[in-house]
Each structure stands twice: as C-alpha cells, then as structure tokens.
Amino acid sequence: MPSKSKKSRPGTDRPISITAVVDCVGALASRSLHGNLYLYDTNRAAGSTGLGTEELRTRVRAGDRLLWNVISLECETYAAIDAIVVDPEVCEPERHTYPGTDITYWTATVKPGAPDVAHYQVRLRLGTRTEPITTTLRPALVG
C-alpha cells in the first residue's frame, strides 16, 4: 500500500536560520550597529518581513527551531554573537560551536504560548573590542 506523504508546514523540517551580516569597520568606527547591521532569515515564504534591515520580523510558530549566525562583510575582521537577549517565555537561546573550530552559532526552540510579538537584541563581539555591541533597533519573532 503506498504511503501518504505528509505536507509539512514552514519551520518544521529545518531550522529557521537568522543571519546577522555586519559591517565591522563601520560598527567599530561608530561604536554602534545602527546602520551597520543587516538581518536576514530563511522564512520569507512563511511571512517574515524587514529582510536586510535591523528590524527583521521573523515569522515563527511554537516548535520552530531557530539558528542565529553572523557574517562579517570584511573577512579579516572577527565577528561573533555574544548573546541573544529574548524573553525566556518565548525561547532560550543556547551557544554552540562547530566541531573542530572556534566558530559559534546560537539555537533555540520557540515555546508554546509565546506572545504574538517578541522583540529581542543581538550582542556582537567585533574585532579586538572587549565589550560587545548591542543592537539599537529591535528585531522580533512574530507569531
């Protein structure tokens, strides 16, 4: 008897990747991510908006797996996510390192009952600066 294929909904077969593209030189010179950060995700088809801005609104559902990473526009400049600051009732981001490297990424699973809109902040470590730089505008996870 042939098996019936299940239709999947966005976000259940693979994580929703959220990528922070940062102009490290601009951010270090201005000591701000404002105008130097471009956020993208892989969930545009499900309704994410604000791609390429600091106010990305990622469309999520309970159970969706999120993966945050960072890319520097200048390949010679160090960039890493220091923290994802979000209401723990929405999700609890955890830091991971790719095996055999010092490259980090963050993951979290959206919890059931999360509010319809949950703003969060991204803290980045850039270059040799000892203190992280935090987003000034707030991206959001939108239910």
Among the four given CATH numbers 2.60.120.10, 2.120.10.60, 2.60.40.3910, 3.40.50.300, the one describing domain 16-142: 2.60.40.3910
Query: How confident is the model at residue 2, as a pLDDT?
Result: 41
Q: Answer positive or negative: Cα dihedral of 94, 42, 120, 84.
A: positive
Residue 8 pLDDT class (50, 70, 90 cuts): very low
The owner of tokens 């601009």 is 26
Task: Judge whether residue 26 has pLDDT over 70.
Answer: yes
Please write the tens of the pLDDT for every residue from 85-102.
999 999 999 999 999 998
Using CA atoms in the order 47, 49, 51, 57, what is the torsion angle rounded to 10 degrees?
A: -100
What would the two tokens of residue 10 be?
A: 């966005």
The structure's pTM equals 0.87
Distance CA 81, CA 105 (A): 7
Query: How confident is the model at residue 12, as a pLDDT?
Result: 52
pLDDT mean over 23-28: 96
